[in-house]
Amino acid sequence: MAKFRIKRYNPEKQAEPYFEEFDYDFPEGATLLDCLNHIKWNMDGTLTYRMSCRSAICGSCGMKSNGHAMLACQKQAAHLLKDDTITIEPLGNMPVIKDLVTDFKLFWDKVDQVKPYLQNKEKQPEKERQQSPHQFKKIDDATTCIMCGACYSDCQVLEVDKNFLGPAALAKAQRFVSDSRDQATRDRIKELSKPGGMWDCTHCGECVERCPKPAEPFYRIKELMAVGLNEGVHNNIGARHALSFVNSVKHSGRLNESKIPIESMGYFNIKGLLDLLPVGLRMLLKLKIPPLIHKPIDDAKDVRRIFEEFGE
Protein backbone atom coordinates (compact mmCIF):
# COMPACT_ATOMS: atom_id res chain seq x y z
CA MET A 1 0.00 0.00 0.00
CA ALA A 2 1.44 3.35 -1.08
CA LYS A 3 0.44 6.87 -0.14
CA PHE A 4 0.10 9.33 -3.02
CA ARG A 5 0.51 12.86 -1.66
CA ILE A 6 -0.85 15.11 -4.41
CA LYS A 7 -0.79 18.88 -4.49
CA ARG A 8 -4.27 20.21 -5.19
CA TYR A 9 -5.37 23.70 -6.20
CA ASN A 10 -8.59 25.05 -7.62
CA PRO A 11 -8.34 28.86 -7.86
CA GLU A 12 -12.14 29.08 -8.03
CA LYS A 13 -12.49 27.45 -4.62
CA GLN A 14 -9.19 27.68 -2.71
CA ALA A 15 -7.02 30.67 -1.87
CA GLU A 16 -3.92 28.49 -1.45
CA PRO A 17 -2.81 25.06 -2.71
CA TYR A 18 -2.83 22.10 -0.33
CA PHE A 19 -1.82 18.43 -0.30
CA GLU A 20 -4.33 15.59 -0.40
CA GLU A 21 -3.38 11.98 0.30
CA PHE A 22 -4.68 8.85 -1.44
CA ASP A 23 -3.85 5.26 -0.46
CA TYR A 24 -3.53 2.85 -3.36
CA ASP A 25 -2.05 -0.66 -3.54
CA PHE A 26 -0.81 -0.37 -7.11
CA PRO A 27 0.01 -3.43 -9.23
CA GLU A 28 3.56 -4.39 -10.20
CA GLY A 29 4.85 -2.46 -13.20
CA ALA A 30 2.32 0.38 -12.88
CA THR A 31 3.60 3.77 -13.98
CA LEU A 32 2.91 6.91 -12.01
CA LEU A 33 0.40 7.87 -14.68
CA ASP A 34 -1.37 4.51 -14.27
CA CYS A 35 -1.71 5.28 -10.58
CA LEU A 36 -3.04 8.77 -11.18
CA ASN A 37 -5.58 7.38 -13.64
CA HIS A 38 -6.76 4.87 -11.04
CA ILE A 39 -7.10 7.62 -8.42
CA LYS A 40 -9.05 9.84 -10.81
CA TRP A 41 -11.27 7.09 -12.20
CA ASN A 42 -12.00 5.35 -8.90
CA MET A 43 -11.36 7.76 -6.00
CA ASP A 44 -11.69 11.42 -7.01
CA GLY A 45 -12.88 12.44 -10.45
CA THR A 46 -12.03 16.08 -9.80
CA LEU A 47 -8.26 15.40 -9.85
CA THR A 48 -6.89 17.29 -12.87
CA TYR A 49 -3.75 16.60 -14.92
CA ARG A 50 -2.69 16.29 -18.54
CA MET A 51 -2.05 13.05 -20.41
CA SER A 52 -2.23 11.72 -23.94
CA CYS A 53 0.03 9.09 -25.53
CA ARG A 54 1.15 7.21 -22.36
CA SER A 55 4.34 6.34 -24.27
CA ALA A 56 6.75 9.20 -23.43
CA ILE A 57 6.24 10.72 -26.88
CA CYS A 58 3.82 13.63 -26.48
CA GLY A 59 5.22 15.18 -23.29
CA SER A 60 1.76 16.01 -21.92
CA CYS A 61 2.08 14.31 -18.53
CA GLY A 62 5.00 16.37 -17.23
CA MET A 63 4.82 16.93 -13.46
CA LYS A 64 7.02 16.82 -10.38
CA SER A 65 7.53 13.68 -8.35
CA ASN A 66 9.41 13.95 -5.06
CA GLY A 67 10.56 17.44 -6.04
CA HIS A 68 11.85 16.75 -9.56
CA ALA A 69 10.24 17.12 -12.97
CA MET A 70 9.56 13.99 -15.03
CA LEU A 71 7.03 12.31 -17.31
CA ALA A 72 4.45 10.41 -15.27
CA CYS A 73 4.09 7.76 -18.00
CA GLN A 74 7.82 7.07 -18.11
CA LYS A 75 8.47 6.19 -14.45
CA GLN A 76 7.25 3.15 -12.55
CA ALA A 77 5.62 4.05 -9.26
CA ALA A 78 7.67 1.45 -7.39
CA HIS A 79 10.86 3.30 -8.33
CA LEU A 80 9.54 6.57 -6.90
CA LEU A 81 8.52 5.37 -3.46
CA LYS A 82 10.16 7.06 -0.49
CA ASP A 83 9.01 5.70 2.86
CA ASP A 84 5.97 4.25 1.07
CA THR A 85 5.01 7.74 -0.15
CA ILE A 86 5.12 9.53 -3.53
CA THR A 87 4.74 13.32 -3.50
CA ILE A 88 3.32 14.74 -6.73
CA GLU A 89 3.25 18.43 -7.68
CA PRO A 90 2.74 20.53 -10.83
CA LEU A 91 5.71 21.63 -12.92
CA GLY A 92 7.69 24.54 -11.54
CA ASN A 93 8.35 28.02 -12.98
CA MET A 94 4.82 28.13 -14.43
CA PRO A 95 1.48 29.41 -13.09
CA VAL A 96 -0.87 26.65 -11.94
CA ILE A 97 -4.26 26.48 -13.64
CA LYS A 98 -5.66 23.61 -11.55
CA ASP A 99 -4.07 20.78 -9.57
CA LEU A 100 -1.24 19.39 -11.76
CA VAL A 101 -2.08 21.46 -14.85
CA THR A 102 0.18 24.47 -15.52
CA ASP A 103 -0.02 27.38 -17.94
CA PHE A 104 2.61 26.95 -20.69
CA LYS A 105 2.11 30.40 -22.24
CA LEU A 106 5.45 31.84 -21.06
CA PHE A 107 7.18 28.63 -22.12
CA TRP A 108 5.81 28.87 -25.66
CA ASP A 109 6.49 32.61 -25.84
CA LYS A 110 10.18 31.93 -25.16
CA VAL A 111 10.29 29.21 -27.81
CA ASP A 112 8.73 31.65 -30.29
CA GLN A 113 11.43 34.22 -29.42
CA VAL A 114 14.20 32.04 -30.93
CA LYS A 115 12.37 31.89 -34.29
CA PRO A 116 12.11 28.06 -34.44
CA TYR A 117 11.95 27.75 -38.21
CA LEU A 118 14.44 27.68 -41.07
CA GLN A 119 15.49 31.01 -42.55
CA ASN A 120 16.81 30.57 -46.06
CA LYS A 121 16.65 33.20 -48.81
CA GLU A 122 17.64 30.89 -51.66
CA LYS A 123 15.06 29.85 -54.20
CA GLN A 124 12.98 26.95 -52.94
CA PRO A 125 14.24 23.74 -54.60
CA GLU A 126 11.83 21.54 -56.51
CA LYS A 127 11.93 18.75 -53.92
CA GLU A 128 13.78 19.46 -50.67
CA ARG A 129 16.92 20.91 -49.16
CA GLN A 130 19.11 17.95 -48.44
CA GLN A 131 21.80 17.48 -45.80
CA SER A 132 24.32 14.74 -45.18
CA PRO A 133 24.18 12.36 -42.20
CA HIS A 134 27.14 14.28 -40.75
CA GLN A 135 25.27 17.57 -41.04
CA PHE A 136 22.15 16.11 -39.47
CA LYS A 137 24.14 14.67 -36.58
CA LYS A 138 24.84 18.24 -35.41
CA ILE A 139 21.13 18.78 -34.75
CA ASP A 140 20.03 15.19 -34.11
CA ASP A 141 19.89 15.43 -30.31
CA ALA A 142 18.00 18.73 -30.31
CA THR A 143 15.34 17.33 -32.64
CA THR A 144 14.37 14.75 -30.00
CA CYS A 145 12.93 17.45 -27.71
CA ILE A 146 9.21 16.87 -27.09
CA MET A 147 8.56 20.26 -25.41
CA CYS A 148 7.40 18.60 -22.18
CA GLY A 149 8.65 21.47 -20.01
CA ALA A 150 10.58 19.28 -17.55
CA CYS A 151 13.83 21.21 -18.06
CA TYR A 152 12.00 24.55 -17.87
CA SER A 153 10.31 23.46 -14.65
CA ASP A 154 13.54 22.74 -12.77
CA CYS A 155 15.75 25.45 -14.31
CA GLN A 156 17.36 27.30 -11.41
CA VAL A 157 17.95 30.48 -13.43
CA LEU A 158 14.25 30.82 -14.28
CA GLU A 159 13.41 30.72 -10.58
CA VAL A 160 15.13 34.10 -10.13
CA ASP A 161 15.12 35.56 -13.67
CA LYS A 162 11.96 35.23 -15.74
CA ASN A 163 13.74 37.04 -18.59
CA PHE A 164 15.94 33.97 -19.20
CA LEU A 165 14.93 32.11 -22.35
CA GLY A 166 15.21 28.76 -20.61
CA PRO A 167 16.80 25.46 -21.63
CA ALA A 168 14.03 24.24 -23.96
CA ALA A 169 14.01 27.41 -26.07
CA LEU A 170 17.82 27.47 -26.23
CA ALA A 171 17.94 23.81 -27.25
CA LYS A 172 15.43 24.62 -29.98
CA ALA A 173 17.63 27.55 -31.03
CA GLN A 174 20.65 25.24 -31.37
CA ARG A 175 18.61 23.00 -33.64
CA PHE A 176 18.39 25.88 -36.16
CA VAL A 177 21.72 27.61 -35.51
CA SER A 178 23.53 24.38 -36.40
CA ASP A 179 21.23 23.40 -39.27
CA SER A 180 23.17 23.39 -42.56
CA ARG A 181 20.06 24.62 -44.39
CA ASP A 182 19.64 27.75 -42.28
CA GLN A 183 21.24 31.05 -43.34
CA ALA A 184 20.64 33.18 -40.25
CA THR A 185 23.32 31.77 -37.94
CA ARG A 186 25.04 35.05 -37.11
CA ASP A 187 21.80 36.98 -36.62
CA ARG A 188 20.49 34.23 -34.35
CA ILE A 189 23.69 34.19 -32.29
CA LYS A 190 23.59 37.96 -31.84
CA GLU A 191 20.07 37.71 -30.44
CA LEU A 192 20.96 34.75 -28.23
CA SER A 193 23.94 36.68 -26.82
CA LYS A 194 21.73 39.40 -25.37
CA PRO A 195 20.76 39.46 -21.65
CA GLY A 196 18.46 36.54 -20.89
CA GLY A 197 20.08 34.43 -23.59
CA MET A 198 22.58 31.58 -23.68
CA TRP A 199 25.27 33.25 -21.56
CA ASP A 200 22.90 33.57 -18.59
CA CYS A 201 22.91 29.78 -18.10
CA THR A 202 24.62 28.96 -14.78
CA HIS A 203 25.81 25.49 -15.87
CA CYS A 204 23.96 23.69 -13.07
CA GLY A 205 23.10 20.81 -15.43
CA GLU A 206 19.65 20.31 -13.89
CA CYS A 207 18.03 20.38 -17.35
CA VAL A 208 20.12 17.38 -18.42
CA GLU A 209 19.06 15.45 -15.33
CA ARG A 210 15.36 16.11 -15.99
CA CYS A 211 15.25 15.76 -19.78
CA PRO A 212 13.40 12.51 -20.66
CA LYS A 213 14.97 12.45 -24.14
CA PRO A 214 18.49 12.74 -25.60
CA ALA A 215 17.97 16.49 -26.17
CA GLU A 216 20.01 17.34 -23.03
CA PRO A 217 19.59 21.14 -23.27
CA PHE A 218 22.72 22.13 -21.34
CA TYR A 219 24.98 20.53 -23.97
CA ARG A 220 23.02 22.29 -26.72
CA ILE A 221 23.57 25.59 -24.88
CA LYS A 222 27.31 24.88 -24.73
CA GLU A 223 27.27 24.29 -28.50
CA LEU A 224 25.56 27.66 -28.99
CA MET A 225 28.26 29.33 -26.92
CA ALA A 226 30.96 27.70 -29.04
CA VAL A 227 29.29 29.00 -32.22
CA GLY A 228 29.09 32.47 -30.68
CA LEU A 229 32.81 32.49 -29.94
CA ASN A 230 33.68 31.13 -33.39
CA GLU A 231 31.45 33.73 -35.05
CA GLY A 232 33.25 36.50 -33.19
CA VAL A 233 30.17 37.67 -31.29
CA HIS A 234 32.17 38.78 -28.27
CA ASN A 235 30.46 42.07 -27.30
CA ASN A 236 28.80 40.61 -24.21
CA ILE A 237 29.86 39.70 -20.69
CA GLY A 238 29.46 35.95 -21.16
CA ALA A 239 31.70 35.71 -24.22
CA ARG A 240 34.31 38.02 -22.72
CA HIS A 241 34.33 35.94 -19.53
CA ALA A 242 34.89 32.72 -21.48
CA LEU A 243 37.72 34.27 -23.51
CA SER A 244 39.35 35.76 -20.40
CA PHE A 245 39.12 32.39 -18.66
CA VAL A 246 40.82 30.62 -21.58
CA ASN A 247 43.50 33.27 -22.05
CA SER A 248 44.33 33.25 -18.36
CA VAL A 249 44.83 29.49 -18.20
CA LYS A 250 46.71 29.50 -21.51
CA HIS A 251 49.10 32.19 -20.29
CA SER A 252 49.85 31.08 -16.75
CA GLY A 253 48.23 27.70 -16.16
CA ARG A 254 45.81 29.13 -13.60
CA LEU A 255 43.07 31.73 -13.31
CA ASN A 256 43.99 35.36 -12.84
CA GLU A 257 41.12 36.17 -10.52
CA SER A 258 41.98 39.87 -10.37
CA LYS A 259 41.87 40.29 -14.14
CA ILE A 260 38.94 38.06 -15.15
CA PRO A 261 36.12 40.21 -13.64
CA ILE A 262 37.47 43.35 -15.34
CA GLU A 263 37.97 41.67 -18.71
CA SER A 264 34.55 40.04 -18.46
CA MET A 265 32.86 43.37 -17.82
CA GLY A 266 34.92 45.12 -20.49
CA TYR A 267 37.66 47.74 -20.02
CA PHE A 268 35.49 50.49 -21.52
CA ASN A 269 32.27 49.47 -19.77
CA ILE A 270 32.45 52.20 -17.12
CA LYS A 271 29.03 51.50 -15.60
CA GLY A 272 29.76 47.78 -15.38
CA LEU A 273 33.15 48.37 -13.79
CA LEU A 274 31.60 50.70 -11.23
CA ASP A 275 29.04 48.01 -10.43
CA LEU A 276 31.96 45.73 -9.46
CA LEU A 277 33.25 48.18 -6.86
CA PRO A 278 30.88 47.23 -3.99
CA VAL A 279 31.77 43.56 -4.40
CA GLY A 280 35.47 44.41 -4.54
CA LEU A 281 35.22 46.49 -1.37
CA ARG A 282 33.44 43.70 0.50
CA MET A 283 36.14 41.27 -0.61
CA LEU A 284 38.82 43.71 0.56
CA LEU A 285 37.21 44.06 3.99
CA LYS A 286 37.00 40.26 4.30
CA LEU A 287 40.62 39.92 3.13
CA LYS A 288 39.46 37.86 0.14
CA ILE A 289 41.22 39.91 -2.55
CA PRO A 290 43.30 37.66 -4.86
CA PRO A 291 47.02 38.47 -5.27
CA LEU A 292 47.60 41.59 -7.34
CA ILE A 293 50.75 40.06 -8.83
CA HIS A 294 49.68 36.98 -10.73
CA LYS A 295 52.23 34.16 -10.78
CA PRO A 296 52.18 31.34 -13.35
CA ILE A 297 52.48 27.72 -12.31
CA ASP A 298 55.87 26.05 -12.62
CA ASP A 299 54.92 24.06 -15.73
CA ALA A 300 52.93 26.76 -17.54
CA LYS A 301 54.75 25.94 -20.77
CA ASP A 302 53.20 22.45 -20.69
CA VAL A 303 49.73 23.98 -20.43
CA ARG A 304 50.48 26.28 -23.38
CA ARG A 305 51.61 23.28 -25.37
CA ILE A 306 48.20 21.66 -24.83
CA PHE A 307 46.52 24.76 -26.27
CA GLU A 308 48.89 24.74 -29.24
CA GLU A 309 48.20 21.05 -29.83
CA PHE A 310 44.49 21.77 -30.23
CA GLY A 311 45.02 24.94 -32.22
CA GLU A 312 43.76 27.33 -29.56
Q: What is the model's pLDDT at position 290? A: 87
Rounded to whole angstroms, how far apart are CA atoms 248 and 267? 16
The CATH architecture annotation of domain 105-122+129-230 reads Orthogonal Bundle (1.10)
Query: Do the Cβ atoms of 64 and 88 come closer than 8 Å?
Result: yes
What three-state secondary structure class fits 307?
helix
According to the model, what pLDDT value does residue 249 have? 94
215 contacts 172 by C-beta, under 8 angstroms: no
Q: Which amino acid is at 100?
A: L
**Alpha carbon of 154 to those of 23, 63, 69: distances in Å?**
28, 10, 7
The answer to whether the CB of 100 falls within 8 A of the CB of 89 is yes
Domain limits, the chain = 2-102, 105-122+129-230, 237-309
Which class is 2-102 in CATH? alpha beta
The letter for the amino acid at 297 is I
Print pLDDT tens along the chain (312 aa). Answer: 899 999 999 998 999 999 999 999 999 999 999 999 999 999 999 999 999 999 999 999 999 999 999 999 999 999 999 999 999 999 999 999 999 999 999 999 999 999 999 999 888 888 888 999 999 999 999 999 999 999 999 999 999 999 999 999 999 999 999 999 999 999 999 999 999 999 999 999 999 999 999 999 999 999 999 999 999 999 999 999 999 999 999 999 999 998 999 999 999 999 999 999 999 899 989 988 888 888 999 999 999 999 998 876
In whole angstroms, give the CA distance from residue 208 to residue 102: 21
Tell me the C-alpha distance between 146 and 158, whole Å. 20
> At 243, which amino acid appears?
L
Contact, 198 vs 207, CB < 8 A? no
The answer to whether domain 2-102 and domain 105-122+129-230 are alike in fold is no
DSSP 94: S
Instruction: Name every residue whose Cβ is closer than 8 Å to that of residue 287 and which is 6 or more positions away in sequence.
Output: none
pLDDT for the residue numbered 81:
96
What's the CA gap between 170 and 110, in Å, rounded? 9
The predicted structure's pLDDT at residue 132: 96
- Asked whether the CA dihedral 150, 153, 156, 161 is positive or negative, the reply is positive
> How many whole angstroms separate alpha carbon 287 and alpha carbon 186?
43
C-alpha to C-alpha distances, 96 to 7, 17, 68, 137, nearest whole angstrom: 11, 10, 16, 37
d(CA 207, CA 209): 5
Q: Which pLDDT score is estimated for 312?
A: 65
